[in-house]
Amino acid sequence: MDESVEIAEPLPTTEQLLRKLLVAVIEVGRADIIWNMPDILDYMGSRIPTRIEVAHLHNVNEQMLEAGERHARRRRKPRLTTQ
């Protein structure tokens, strides 16, 4: 009688799952969804380039640049603190 034991692979980490999800979103052409989630970009160590950084490129999506500017303004605003 064969008593072989199946060893289950470890479950993926949250970061691995998030990376797979982001890749899938980008592959179906919906990267614009991610542009509006700066927390996810920050978590993954990514960012939206500035207009200056992509000035030499053609066919740059204007919506991406606008989202980047919105998030940059949001970061510069001082946060109210309560004491």
CB 64 within 8 A of CB 48: yes
What does the pLDDT read at residue 71?
85
How many helices (H) and strands (E) the chain has is answered by 4, 0
Angstrom distance (rounded) from CA 15 to CA 32: 20
What are the CA-CA distances from residue 76 to residues 2, 13, 45, 54 (Å)? 65, 32, 18, 22
What does the pLDDT read at residue 1?
56
What's the pTM? 0.61
Residue-wise pLDDT tens for the chain (83 aa)? 567 778 888 899 998 999 999 999 999 999 889 988 888 888 888 888 999 999 999 999 899 999 999 888 877 666 566 65
